[in-house]
Amino acid sequence: MAKVDVGKKILSENDRVAAKNRETFDDAGVLVLNFISSPGSGKTTLLETTLDRLPQDLRVLVIEGDVSTTRDLDRVKAHGATGVQINTGGGCHLSAKMVAEVLPELDVEHADIIFIENVGNLICPSTYDLGEDGKVVLLATTEGDDKPMKYPTIFYESRLAILNKIDLLPYLDYDVEKVQREVEVLNADCELLQVSARSGEGIDDWISWITTRLEEKRS
């Protein structure tokens, strides 16, 4: 009987590939945001609104992660984005390797921003670094207001939380302040923006959050 010291992070191989992706993104000076949410929180709608509202001279690429369809990619293409689809074939998250494999199909060199729409759930994608500048977690007022404490990892990992569908607040029993406080407890550096992708409320703040991050990235 012998003990062999391993002392290795299980995701060390993913992290190695993510670091290579990050190098590619940094060299190109492109801002990469990885969107994570439950299904139905309005990720694709927010992406469509965002594409419409971002300054027109910015070149935006979208990497759509989905279990099996290209429906979301078709939607964002209609709003002027170029992109690729990654079908995970049942997988519940994107990995750094899946992203690395589609990079040659994208003109990363000449892009300003890449949005990665991860597979819809709050657990699995949160552990996988893809090489992004930041994870953005999206919540909707139509989900329970206990999400942050239920899925803490994604909130420690995220740079920004977005509460979508605030136009529905008058009709819902949703405690925004509680959510705000839970996000703060989990990650004091994670801001919470309140938006409605449908009515456009709060979208200006979101657009300026993105453009500020882009300026930071380039400076």
Partner 1 sequence: MHELSICQSMLEIVDRTMAEHPGAKLLRIFLDVGKGSTIEPVLLSEAFDVITTDGPYEETKLVVNEIPLAGRCRSCGSTFEYQEVALGCPKCESVDIEITSGLELAIRELEIDENGAGDPPGGDAE
DSSP 8-state class, residue 108? G
Q: How far is the CB of 148 from partner 1 (least distance, A)?
A: 10
Please tell me the distance from the alpha carbon of residue 9 to that of residue 108, in angstroms, as a whole number.
29
Other Cβ atoms within 10 Å of 3 Cβ, number = 5
d(CA 185, CA 63): 31
Least distance in Å: CB of 169 to partner 1?
21
- Please state the closest distance from residue 26 (CB atom) to partner 1, in A: 25
* Least distance between partner 1 and beta carbon 213 (Å): 23
Of 7 and 170, nearer to partner 1 (C-beta) is 7
The residue among 111 and 154 lying less far from partner 1, judged by its C-beta, is: 154
- Nearest to partner 1 of 6, 104 (CB atom): 6
Do residues 161 and 191 touch, judged by C-beta distance below 8 A?
yes
Sign of the CA dihedral with 107 first, then 108, 109, and 113 last: positive
Secondary structure (3-state) at 68: coil
Nearer residue to partner 1 within complex by CB, 12 or 56: 12
Interface positions with partner 1 (CB under 8 A): 1-14, 91-93, 95, 123-124, 126-127, 149, 152-153, 156, 178, 181-182, 184-185, 188
- Closest distance between partner 1 and the C-beta of residue 212, in Å? 23
Residue 156 or 201 having the CB closest to partner 1: 156
Positive or negative, the Cα torsion across 164, 168, 171, 176?
Answer: positive
Q: How many CB atoms lie within 10 A of CB 27?
A: 10
Return the SS3 of 163: strand
What's at 11, amino acid-wise? L
Question: At closest approach, how far in Å is the CB of 108 from partner 1?
Answer: 25
Rounded Cα distance between 49 and 193, Å, is 15
Q: Which is nearer to partner 1, 39 or 170 (CB)?
A: 39
